[in-house]
Amino acid sequence: MPSTRLQRRAFAAPLMSTIAREMDQLQASVRRMFDNPLAPAVEPFAFPEAIGWFPPVEIAESPTELTLTAELPGLDRKDVHVDLEGDVLTLRGEKQEERTEDGKERQYHLVERSYGAFQRSFTLPASVDRDRIAADYEKGVLTLHMPKRADATPRGRQIEIGGK
């Protein structure tokens, strides 16, 4: 019986990609069971298909700025692009699979690294001064400094409490 293979496109957070990958593996196992009931239930060293790659990101806030850091191991600065269109900040790039050119075939027993193109978009709050956003890239970590507008910085004062 011919089988059709579907590949999901990454559209959600890494947790959803993991769930989708496990569902695909379960579906493939059930399909194999019906195609050949006498076959072993588990293939040795079965590899899940890569669904996508989402670099992990942290966003922190101080009184004067928002800071976004993204881990991009294995990428050069030239492979990373940051765009700002309106109030949407987009990180994009591609991590190429590393292959040796020695002419020898390799049989992998475990693959945990992720490769491929990625794109992440974030809506910036109105308090960010879009003209002063700056980016640094060092040791595989992209850091975006997004200063707040001067008029958006909260100015506090203590209020006297009256009464008897």
Which three-class secondary structure string do you get for 57-87? Answer: EEEEECCCEEEEEEECCCCCHHHEEEEEECC
Instruction: Please provide residue 160's backbone torsions phi and psi, each rounded to the nearest 5 degrees.
Output: -70, 140
In this prediction, residue 8 has a pLDDT band, given cuts at 50, 70 and 90, of very low
Mean pLDDT on 60-89: 93
In this prediction, residue 26 has a pLDDT band, given cuts at 50, 70 and 90, of confident
pLDDT value at residue 2 = 47
Taking alpha carbons only, the member of 81, 102, 111 closest to residue 21 is 111
pLDDT value at residue 5 = 43
CA pair distance 142, 57, nearest whole angstrom:
9
Please enumerate in sequence order all residues whose Cβ is within 8 A of that of 53, keeping only pairs 6 or more positions apart, or say none: 10, 95, 114, 115, 116, 117, 118
Q: Is the pLDDT of residue 60 over 50?
A: yes
Please enumerate in sequence order all residues whose Cβ is within 8 A of that of 56, keeping only pairs 6 or more positions apart, or say none: 14, 70, 71
pLDDT value at residue 45 = 47
Domain boundaries, the chain: 1-52, 53-151
CATH of 53-151 given 2.60.40.790, 2.60.120.260, 2.40.40.20, 3.30.230.10: 2.60.40.790
Q: Are 69 and 142 in contact (CB under 8 A)?
A: yes
* Ranges 113-117, 121-125, 157-161, most confident: 121-125
